[in-house]
Amino acid sequence: MKKILLMGNPNVGKSVFFNRLTGANVIESNYPGTTVDYTKGYMKGNSEDFEIIDVPGTFSLEPKDKAEEVAVKMLEEKKDALVICVIDASKIERGLYLALEIIERGYPVVLALNMWDVAEDKNIQIDIEKLKSILNIPVVPTIAISGKGFKEVVLSIKKAASVGVKEIMEKVGEIK
Amino acid sequence: MNEKIGRIYFGVLGIITLIFGITDLIVTIGGNDFSWGILEISSDMFRGGWGGLIVISAGLFYLSSLKNFLEIHQFSKALMASILIWILAGTDIFVRITESIPGGEDGPWFNSLEGFLSTYAPPYPPVIFLLPFSLVILFSLSKRKKA
Amino acid sequence: MTLTADERWDLIEKISNKVVTFSKFKHTLKDALGELTVKPLTGIPIAIAVLYGFWSVFSSFAGTLCTDGFFVKLFDGHFLPWIQSVFPGKGGWFYYIFVGDPAADNCFEAFGVLTSGLFVAIGVVLPAIFIFYLMMALLEDVGYMPRLAVLIDTIFHKIGLHGYAIVPSILALGCNVPAVTATRILETKKQRFIMMTLLAIFIPCGAQLGIMQEVIPESIGIVLLYLIFGYFLFGFILNKITPGKSPEILIDVPPYQKPLWNNISRKLRMRLGGFFKIAVPFVLFGCAIVNILYLSGTIDWLARVLTPLLTGWFGVPGETVGPLIAAFLRKDLAVAQLSAIEMSKYQMITSVVLVSIYFPCVATFVMLLKEGWKNLLGSLAVLVTVIFLYGGLINVIWKLLGVQ
């Protein structure tokens, strides 16, 4: 069964994501660091089933606390996994840091810009199409608590492929 | 609600709230329940003491919101003052609800209708009197939203 | 190809310049309310009001409505006489273990597995943790909890923990077991050790709070105050003597949001499910063990041996040995059993404090063990010291006040 790792910064709604995707019971709490162990669940895709693993939130792949250590270890153990990287759309730079680190390690990534509503509240506008073409990976705006964008995330899974960071750097220069 | 009316209204409400809160504390320190007509102030450490402190804070929040009342940070103070009163009044009503349902130690399982209703009869603590007046903030809130 | 951190930030800046546009940031009402709850001057009164509401709803729902309103009547008036009359073998040891004292007229004093045990688990603790978890879930989902963490951050720094530490501490008020796991969000070994030790010793769980507000409603304030003071005092001391670092960290505060009923009910279901699976069997099992120890004379013997220590140093009657043994298994059961022992109000306070700071319940103990036996040994050493010094101190205070 294909494995999917759900990764992201702490407190961006990964657990809600996980519950939505798998119908499982992970306790979602509105404070950081609720997921300190990992949780596994299963999801039915269109043509195949996936095993989804909810990885503890981490800011980077250079671990600072025990929850982050767990995250890095899990990524290293699952070499053939696909990663859904959930980031906070209103703090996109910080999320991209983690996303890039994962991309650099050669994992295929689907990027979910979660808390899209919060970003809108804060008057932050993100050009999804441009971001997609720069990174060359699927990018989906989502609102986890209301379920917006989930279908698209699931549909994008098969479009995800590993990309080189060099291509990204070139692309950034080209695009206006 | 225009700014002037809002300021006068919440100014007066703030002063009354503050007086109620101080009275709460004085009664608690005095150690005897105080009642006057349908108003009753508890000398209980929890309701009178901590409750009194919270009522005072609510009064101060109202008063500090007056300057430049419609500005969002100022307005949020008045809203927060009302929320504090709702917490106090809400829990007080909740206490009455929990007391009104069971039939008492030697009575039947459930309370009689008469006993049920009499739990809600006066006297009431100060926050219950403040409650309806604090709700006016919802009216200003809806006005704000439209504007 | 991988990048260095600087190169990566550089790339991110380029990307965000291309795709992100920030319009003028306008504070919404949510932001303004959020600010009020975080600034100390306004945040502290708000925190007091929230805790006031929490406690008021907790005690009136669990105590007034459920336990006193219905369960006492159900258990003492109907269930107890019934089981006392239908249970076979009156006077035998089997009867004693399961029903307890055949002459008892209330479930607190009967001591049997099916009488006291069921009453404590279902009649007192279940409503308490139900309402506790419900309100916790609400406060979490609305987004108040992280703000409370920010507010308390400053105080916590003094004891070598950052504001995140409020998360395990508050979780521990529900149950210590998930709280121990939650200490993993702390960064250094030192912080984790301090936090685990403090919460295992000083934080009473929801079950214990529920039973305390039932049996000692008038002194619960003093008990809690004493425990909170101990939490900070020993936190401060541990911070000074434990080697290691306690670095600063930034806390991320999510925006206020409407709570989702689905999410709350799911949380509540899971936590209550855990209660039925773990807590209820332990309460019943604990009752049985204590009764067996009574029957075999072990408790009388222990009471005799330990009386000089218990009465001499802590000022409590020797009979408290029974509840102290029960406290190994469940603290709520222990407090319930204390209420059946005859003693003064102040002795009662001392013994409830002792039950609280004394050994963590078995479920917490297992969790601590999972986090490493070295930590556990350290925690136990602190615990023994705390029991003797801090537990003895309260007796000294009573003596000085001349009430005992």
Is the pLDDT at C235 greater than 60? The verdict is yes
Cβ-in-10-Å burial (0-12, 13-18, 19+) of C278 comes to middle
- Structure confidence at residue C318 (pLDDT): 85
Cβ-in-10-Å burial (0-12, 13-18, 19+) of C17 comes to exposed
Q: Do B72 and C46 touch (CB under 8 A)?
A: no
- Structure confidence at residue C171 (pLDDT): 79
User: What would the pLDDT profile of B39-72 be if each residue is shown by its tens digit?
Assistant: 888 888 888 889 999 999 999 999 999 988 888 8
Distance CA B13, CA B133 (A): 7
Percentages helix, strand, coil for chain C (3-state, rounded to 5) are 80, 0, 20
**Test mutation, C10, C33, C151, C252, chain A, max A CBs within 10 A:** C252
**Test mutation, C30, C31, C35, C46, chain B, max B CBs within 10 A:** C46
Is the pLDDT at B13 greater than 90? The verdict is yes
Is the pLDDT at A32 greater than 60? The verdict is no
- Structure confidence at residue C109 (pLDDT): 80
Of A151, A97, A95, the residue nearest A119 (C-alpha):
A95
Least Cα separation, residue C26 to chain B (angstroms): 10
Residues 6+ positions from A101 with CB-CB distance below 8 Å: A60, A61, C8
Is the pLDDT at A33 greater than 60? The verdict is no
Domain count, chain A: 1
Instruction: Name the residue facing C149 among A31, A173, A176 (closest C-beta).
Output: A31
Q: Do chains C and B touch (3 or more CB pairs under 8 A)?
A: yes
Distance CA A87, CA A104 (A): 17
Q: For A146, which DSSP code?
A: T
User: What would the pLDDT profile of B96-134 be if each residue is shown by its tens digit?
Assistant: 999 999 988 778 889 888 889 998 988 899 999 999 999
Distance CA C338, CA C342 (A): 8
Instruction: Name the residue facing A32 among C11, C22, C252 (closest C-beta).
Output: C252
Domain membership of residue B135 as a residue range: 3-146
Q: Do B51 and C52 touch (CB under 8 A)?
A: yes
Compute the average pLDDT of residues C41-47: 92
Compute the average pLDDT of residues C13-37: 83
Confidence of residue A164 (pLDDT cuts 50, 70, 90): confident
Q: Where along chain C do its domains lie?
A: 32-401
- Annotate C243-296 with DSSP letters as a single string: -S-----PPP-PPP-PPPHHHHHHHHHHHHHHIIIIIHHHHHHHHHHHHHHHHT
Q: Which helix (H) or strand (E) holds B86?
A: helix B72-100
- Structure confidence at residue C250 (pLDDT): 55
Q: Do C61 and B57 touch (CB under 8 A)?
A: no
User: What would the pLDDT profile of C49-102 be if each residue is shown by its tens digit?
Assistant: 999 999 999 989 998 899 888 999 999 888 999 998 888 888 888 898 898 888
Determine the residue of chain C that is closest to A170 in CA distance: C11
Confidence of residue A74 (pLDDT cuts 50, 70, 90): confident
Q: Do A123 and C26 touch (CB under 8 A)?
A: yes
Q: Percent of chain A having pLDDT more than 90?
A: 15
Q: Is C402 left (phi over 0), alpha (psi -120 to 50) or beta?
A: left
Q: Do C70 and B79 touch (CB under 8 A)?
A: no
As given in the structure block, the two tokens for residue A89 are 């759309």
- Structure confidence at residue C169 (pLDDT): 85
- Structure confidence at residue A29 (pLDDT): 52
Domain count, chain B: 1
SS3 A42: strand
B84 or A75, higher pLDDT = B84
Of B40, B15, B30, B18, the residue nearest B96 (C-alpha):
B40
C112 or C163, higher pLDDT = C112
Q: Domain with A92 in it: what CATH number?
A: 3.40.50.300
Is the pLDDT at A35 greater than 70? The verdict is no
Place of tokens 């309260």: C394
Domain membership of residue A149 as a residue range: 2-174
- Structure confidence at residue C34 (pLDDT): 86
- Structure confidence at residue C252 (pLDDT): 61
User: What would the pLDDT profile of C167-205 be if each residue is shown by its tens digit?
Assistant: 788 878 878 877 887 787 777 788 888 888 998 899 998
- Structure confidence at residue B133 (pLDDT): 94
Confidence of residue A83 (pLDDT cuts 50, 70, 90): very high
User: What would the pLDDT profile of C338-389 be if each residue is shown by its tens digit?
Assistant: 888 888 888 999 999 998 888 788 788 888 887 788 888 989 999 989 988 9
Compute the average pLDDT of residues C4-16: 87
Least Cα separation, residue C142 to chain A (angstroms): 8
- Structure confidence at residue A62 (pLDDT): 84
Q: Which helix (H) or strand (E) holds C126?
A: helix C126-142
- Structure confidence at residue A26 (pLDDT): 53
Q: Which of residues 71-110 of B touch C (CB under 8 A)?
A: 72-73, 75-77, 79-80, 84, 87-88, 90-92, 94-95, 97-99, 101-102, 105, 109
User: What would the pLDDT profile of C251-269 be if each residue is shown by its tens digit?
Assistant: 566 778 788 787 788 878 8
Of C329, C341, C16, C358, the residue nearest C204 (C-alpha):
C358
Instruction: Name the residue facing C56 among B72, B91, B102 (closest C-beta).
Output: B91
- Structure confidence at residue C248 (pLDDT): 58
